[in-house]
Structure 1
Amino acid sequence: MNNSRLFKKSLLAVTIASASLASTQVTAAGFQLNSQSATGLGRAFAGDAVIADNASSISRNAASLALFERTEISLGANIISSEVDVTGTTYTSPISGGAVSIDDTQNDATSFVPNIFVAVPINDKFAVGFGAYSNFGTTNEFDASWGAGTGAVITDNGAVVPGADAFGGTTNVSSVNLLIAGSYRINDQWSIGAGIDIIHGEGELKRDSEMNIVSGGSPTGSTTSANLMDVDASGWGVGFNLGAVYELDENNRFGLSYHYSPEIEASGTVSYGGDANIGDLKMPLPSMAEFSGYHRIEDTKFAVHYSIQYISWSDFDALVTTDGTNIKDYKWQDTYHYSIGGTYYINQNWEARIGYMFDEGVQDSLTSVSVPDSDRQWFSAGASYHFNADQTLDLGFTYLVGKNVAVTDTIGGGVEQGGLTLNTTTKATAILAGVQYTHRF
């Protein structure tokens, strides 16, 4: 059999697709990144589209600008430490003679996600805001030895059968969202807002496989390494957002927002086997809608708040190139996350908050070892210290835990169609910690 062309084509598909989306930075379903502020982090982002306790709220709802009475700048960063356990892995190929066990592995990643926001009231009716933050990001790195040597190069017929390490590799994908927003207060109850999102995404993606050399049907004892994928690509996209706030009274308000996310064309170096002419990558990002409520219990120091967010992950049905080539099907499903939290206003200097979020996973009929996706639970806590009326320091902490997920990943249709099959179980956890400083003028 000469499987060289088959495996080169199918391997190209899986390496581009899984590299673009691999996710051990497991802060949200798919490759969404819930890390816009330490304040939101401390309450699992419950009520964030309407609380407006610092300028970071404009990342969730531009209409919240109408709730600020003074100019303020908010600067912060979140640290994300994630862990994905990959266990019980077996690999099957046309030459493996059955399922081959692969050692368990644990993929760890630590990321630094900064943000900055500015809210500027112009007068009683108008306000403008600016922000720089991230809505999407992921990082993943399998050890080079994981699954190595399970494939083969058969010299007498030219067949190239990559090993289980073809499913792993190194991925670093990041995005920056530059926001320009404005709001208009219609009356004492209603405010509306809108903004432009300028998004830049970039990624470094590598896939290699160490394979045995087989001659005359027998291993020679030698190995060879093949660079299967080397990508360094980036691109820009422009989206928009709309929002509204309704204030029932000074203690009760609701917020509704919609973010349209663009499709980004990532261009640069996309190399496979020396061929860099396979077109640019088209990456459709999901749009999001969110409803939030905030209710301070009258004559008490307590408030409750909540959010429901919808994410249109079905937009990410497949990854294709600009020449129309279908690289890989994903068939992700639309998802929701639900969060609820509470704030205790201890005194004029201190606030404490807690939150819980249930975040639905995006995968449906298709699963992947490079996207350790599942339903997730967030357990969050945070605090604010007001130095004075002009300066505030916020701290937030979240423990995130996913479920064990049985994964079947394939290349070339799987071993039943002459391709490769990987069966495994993944489980993702993460710790997020953030700090935010706000200064009012």
Structure 2
Amino acid sequence: MKNKLLLGTAAALVPCLTNAAGFQLNAQSATGLGRAFAGDAVMADSAAIVAKNSAAMAYIEQPTLSVGAIYIDSGIDVSNVSYTPMRGDTETFDDQSLDAGTLVPNVHYVHPIQGSKFTLGATVHSNFGTDVEFDDSFEADEFGGKTALSSINVGFAVAYELSEKINLGAGLDVIYGEGEIHRKNLLDVDADGFGLGANVGATYQVNENNRFGITYRYSPDIEVEGDITKGGVSADKMNVPLPDTLEFSGWHQLNEQWAFHYSLQWVNWSEFDSLTSDSYDDSIKEYQWKDAGHISVGGTYTMSKDIVLRAGYMYDISPTDELTSLSIPDVNRHWLTVGGTYNFTAASSVDIGVGFIIGESQDIDESLTTIPGTSSNITADVTADALLLGVQYQHRF
């Protein structure tokens, strides 16, 4: 039977092959990918805005459907590995390359209610996902192992046009996730469940060429249920603290062809301190992360009524602090992205996006005590890179 666990749990315990810091996943739209998701809290250039800032849905004037997917080809390189087992001498291992390819679909719909100031929206996408397996020859299996994860996020939102300058929005997210995790003689989890999140947002339009947006997303501590085994002791529940996020964006139309946009996102990763269960005196896993986030800038060039081009850069900050872990070899990342839109007609268009993610190097120094008075240790250098290819079709009714 495949192990299953709630989205946040799986991502928190596995080697992270997602394409953002921590265990976030930026794969909501090809439109956003093309501009490195700069301006995400205010730009309504696709129906995917429902997954970012519900208030900005008010800028969409027609019922709009967006259907797409992003393919993520990601990898982690683990080098200079030195392993000291609980018993025995320190060993050095060959370099490890952990590669995974994942297709992440998304569907978004935004519907302005004619004759009113309300706009409704719905979205189905994935916020987290990974599929990682260390080679069987990797002897430090208490630090490596196998993990697979998939997730679905279903969201509903409403926007209200408070005035000509101000829009307000709010939404609910229902998240389901499943996965597989195995750490030999250390940890096995078989659990699944749902999490309920909420978000609020606002936009302010200075004039027709300048807008600002802000959105806050609340993520509660989630209790998952299932079979959990740590060191031979079983439990059926586990608590997972998930971080809140705050994002501010700006959009400025410089002239008829050029627009400039940017985003600053803060993630309350310090909430993600440890995984716990009432069945254990100590925590299941300690992380003690620090608050982090990203900053992104981008540009949009309207070449003609049929063709729009985009480009962007993002600096994505890792939340790992003094405690480092091979199970989440997270690093600071640099995003370089390009994309564009082709309008077939006034009602239909296709978007593409390409992203190159270049990770910095991170030193890992992790110890585990599985027998009182005895511990094992691993040190390594880690880098994480990815290639993202996105496409989406959009139709305006």
TM-score range, shorter-chain basis?
A: over 0.9
Residues 227 and 235 in structure 2, CA contact (< 8 A), matched pair in contact too: no
Q: What is the CA RMSD across the aligned residues, in angstroms?
A: 2.0
- After superposition, the C-alpha distances for 1:135-189 in whole angstroms (9 at most, x for unaligned) are 2333321111112xxxxxxxxxxxxxxxx12211111123322111001101111
1:425 partnered with 2:376:
no
Q: Which whole-Å CA distance do the structure 2 matches of 1:19 and 1:119 have between them?
A: 30
1:144 partnered with 2:100:
no
What amino acid is the match of 1:265?
A: E
Which SS does the other structure have where 2:270 is aligned? helix
Q: Which whole-Å CA distance do the structure 2 matches of 1:46 and 1:142 have between them?
A: 34
Residue 365 (structure 2) aligns with: 408
Deviation at 1:20, TM superposition (A): 4.3
Which SS does the other structure have where 1:363 is aligned? coil
What amino acid is the match of 2:37?
A: F
Q: Which whole-Å CA distance do the structure 1 matches of 2:368 and 2:316 have between them?
A: 29
1:53 to 45, 48, 53: 45
Which SS does the other structure have where 1:66 is aligned? helix
After the TM superposition, which residues 288-327 of structure 1 pair with which residues of structure 2 at under 5 Å, given as runs? 288-298=245-255, 300-323=256-279, 325=281, 326-327=283-284
Change (3 A) 1:95 1:411: same
Change (3 A) 1:199 1:19: closer
Residue 98 (structure 2) aligns with: 107
Q: Which whole-Å CA distance do the structure 1 matches of 2:97 and 2:16 have between them?
A: 10
Residue 23 (structure 1) aligns with: 15
Residue 5 (structure 2) aligns with: none
- After superposition, the C-alpha distances for 1:37-66 in whole angstroms (9 at most, x for unaligned) are 111011110001111011101111000111
1:373 to 313, 330, 339: 330
Q: Which whole-Å CA distance do the structure 1 matches of 2:229 and 2:154 have between them?
A: 30
Change (3 A) 1:413 1:61: same
How many residue pairs match? The answer is: 388
Change (3 A) 1:180 1:369: same
Residues 82 and 380 in structure 2, CA contact (< 8 A), matched pair in contact too: yes
2:228 to 259, 270, 280: 270
Residues 307 and 340 in structure 1, CA contact (< 8 A), matched pair in contact too: yes
Q: Which whole-Å CA distance do the structure 2 matches of 1:406 and 1:363 have between them?
A: 11
Q: Which whole-Å CA distance do the structure 2 matches of 1:197 and 1:251 have between them?
A: 31
Q: Which structure has the greater CA radius of gyration? A: 1
After the TM superposition, which residues 325-336 of structure 1 pair with which residues of structure 2 at under 5 Å, given as runs? 325=281, 326-336=283-293
2:124 to 115, 127, 132: 132
1:257 partnered with 2:233:
no
Query: Scaled by the length of structure 2, what TM-score is found?
Result: 0.93
Deviation at 1:269, TM superposition (A): 2.9
Residues 44 and 340 in structure 1, CA contact (< 8 A), matched pair in contact too: yes
Residues 223 and 237 in structure 2, CA contact (< 8 A), matched pair in contact too: yes
Residue 438 (structure 1) aligns with: 394
279-288 vs 181-190, which moves further: 279-288
Deviation at 1:414, TM superposition (A): 10
Query: Gaps spanning 5+ residues in structure 1: where?
Result: 1-16, 148-163, 209-226
Residues 14 and 181 in structure 2, CA contact (< 8 A), matched pair in contact too: no
Change (3 A) 1:414 1:269: closer
Q: Which whole-Å CA distance do the structure 2 matches of 1:355 and 1:334 have between them?
A: 24
Identity %: 44
Deviation at 1:324, TM superposition (A): 5.9
Change (3 A) 1:61 1:367: same
